[in-house]
Amino acid sequence: MLQDPETQLVMARAGDDVAFGLENHCVPTAEIWPRVHRALAQVGFPYPEDRATAALSGGEKQRLAIAGILALRPRVLLLDEPTANLDPDGARAIRGVLARIAERRDVTMVVVEHRLADLLPLIDRVVVIEAGGGVVADGPADAVFAREGERLKGLGVWVPGPPPAAPPRRTAPGDEAIAARDLTYLYPRSDVPALDGVTATVRRGSALAITGPNGSGKSTLAMLLAGLLRPQGGEVRAFGEDPSRLSPRALVRRIGTVFQDPEHQLVAARVDDELRIGPRAVGLPNDEIERRVRELLERLDLQKLAAANPFTLSGGEKRRLSVGTALATFPGTLVLDEPTFGQDRRTFAELLALLAEFRDGGGAIAFASHDELFVDAFADERLRLERGHAA
């Protein structure tokens, strides 16, 4: 199971994607579709087998990729952050599947994960790897965390215990930055609206959390608030204007956006050049651009990667870079989709601090997230979506 599930989906329809591996393993035809149906049910896939894979959310793609693996009945499972894109119910469902597999004791599982607390009952052994430093701890989970817990916390490892706290608020929320009224949006070739009658307000000096199950419309709402989609019903007003009708230069001055998939917004050949693109587009002076790039590289723990190609970074590093590009133009508002994906404890805390500074400086923030730790630590207001409606 790869870190980015989209890279291992190969077919246009969900059921065909799960069947693909079985067909390549020459499983008898009569066995293929019962195994497809069983695997989709195991992961709680919420659609019929003819659902278009291109229409799935990030978390739904993750469930589908896991179903394709489970259908093969492997003896070894290699899983890279298998629940990172899933809503809490979906994550519990996958952990339940893994628990049942672990109980059989006939499958070896290797899980790459930042947050282990919910997986601890399944784990026999923990191997902690430091960037550039090799193995720094190895052994039974209880023994490793009891013996090395404080040292590992200092290295950024998510050890069991309370998460980092958000910096205390220094200012009070202000007036409206973005107001969305009665939004409706229907994607092409879909007969069910992604959003239907949703209203949201993003205030200056405040953070709005957009939550809900996979496929509930969170990313669509984020794109509408950011002016990157135009509603088919209702309206969005950002600082008194329709953001979807602004020029690209005017929009980037007002709203910084982080996409669900960071690779969709990376365009430069170097990390530091990626951070320069936005400030240059809005005409900031060169000395101000360089000062801002140096600061963001340091704050986001990317300084050693300044000359690297952004597409060679890890998922968590790409996420931090995408947040940096949104902050680099000094916008009035940030719209963020899963901003804490793939972060260790230290970089999670730094993102919290960086976004709190933006908020306390009068910036407005809307973020879509499944990360309950981040939502609990940072959200001033919450909007929960279910099937395109406000819950």
Residue (of 90, 95, 19, 94) closest to 56 by Cα position = 90
What is d(CA 137, CA 129) in angstroms, rounded to the nearest whole number? 7
Residue (of 41, 45, 44) closest to 56 by Cα position = 45
What is d(CA 109, CA 368) in angstroms, rounded to the nearest whole number? 31
Please report the pLDDT score of residue 6 as a whole number.
Answer: 84
Tell me the domains of the chain and their CATH numbers. 5-113 (3.40.50.300), 176-390 (3.40.50.300)
Please report the pLDDT score of residue 78 as a whole number.
Answer: 93
Q: Is the pLDDT of residue 284 over 80?
A: yes
Give me the amino acid identity at 116: L
Q: Given pLDDT bands bounded at 50, 70 and 90, which one contains residue 100?
A: confident
CB-count exposure of residue 283 (10 Å: 0-12, 13-18, 19+) = exposed
Q: Is the pLDDT of residue 189 over 80?
A: no
Please report the pLDDT score of residue 95 as a whole number.
Answer: 85
Taking CA atoms, 109 is separated from 73, 80, 286, in Å, by 12, 11, 50
Q: Is the pLDDT of residue 131 over 80?
A: no
What is d(CA 379, CA 372) in angstroms, rounded to the nearest whole number? 10
Q: Is the pLDDT of residue 2 over 80?
A: yes
Q: Which range (7-21, 122-136, 234-248, 253-267) has the least confidence?
A: 122-136
What pLDDT, in 10s, does the model give residues 50-59?
999 988 887 8
- Taking a C-beta distance cutoff of 8 angstroms, is the pair 211, 385 a contact? yes
- Sequential DSSP letters for 13-72: BHHHHHHHHHHHTT--HHHHHHHHHHHHHHTT--S-TT-BGGG--HHHHHHHHHHHHHTT
Please report the pLDDT score of residue 386 as a whole number.
Answer: 93
What is d(CA 204, CA 353) in angstroms, rounded to the nearest whole number? 17
- Taking a C-beta distance cutoff of 8 angstroms, is the pair 293, 276 a contact? yes
What is d(CA 37, CA 85) in angstroms, rounded to the nearest whole number? 22
Residue carrying the six token digits 């230290």: 346
Residue (of 39, 113, 43, 45) closest to 80 by Cα position = 113
What is d(CA 219, CA 306) in angstroms, rounded to the nearest whole number? 29
| Mean pLDDT for all residues in the chain | 91
Tokens of 32: 């293929």
CB atoms < 10 A from the CB of 263, how many? Answer: 15
What is d(CA 311, CA 194) in angstroms, rounded to the nearest whole number? 30
Q: Is the pLDDT of residue 28 over 90?
A: yes
> Cα angle at 354 between 272 and 252, to 5 degrees?
60
What is d(CA 263, CA 318) in angstroms, rounded to the nearest whole number? 7
Q: Which range (85-89, 111-115, 273-277) has the least confidence?
A: 85-89
Whole-number CA gyration radius for the chain:
22
What is d(CA 296, CA 274) in angstroms, rounded to the nearest whole number? 11
Per-residue pLDDT averaged across 197-216, rounded?
Answer: 94
What is d(CA 21, CA 37) in angstroms, rounded to the nearest whole number? 14
- Taking a C-beta distance cutoff of 8 angstroms, is the pair 117, 158 a contact? yes
Percent of the chain past pLDDT 70, that is, above it, reads: 100
Instruction: Return the SS3 of 301.
Output: coil
Please report the pLDDT score of residue 105 as a whole number.
Answer: 84
What is d(CA 225, CA 235) in angstroms, rounded to the nearest whole number? 10
pTM of the shown model: 0.84
Q: Which range (11-20, 182-191, 280-289, 359-368) has the least confidence?
A: 182-191
Q: What secondary structure, in 3-state letters, does 112-137 show?
A: ECCECHHHHHHCCCEEEEECCCEEEE
Q: Given pLDDT bands bounded at 50, 70 and 90, which one contains residue 96?
A: confident
Q: How many CA atoms lie within 13 A of 43 on its CB side?
A: 27
Q: What secondary structure, in 3-state letters, does 346-381 show?
A: HHHHHHHHHHHHHHHCCCEEEEECCCHHHHHHHCCE
Q: What are phi and psi of 106, to 5 degrees?
A: -115, 5
Q: Given pLDDT bands bounded at 50, 70 and 90, which one contains residue 73?
A: very high
Q: Given pLDDT bands bounded at 50, 70 and 90, which one contains residue 203?
A: very high
Per-residue pLDDT averaged across 314-320, rounded?
Answer: 92
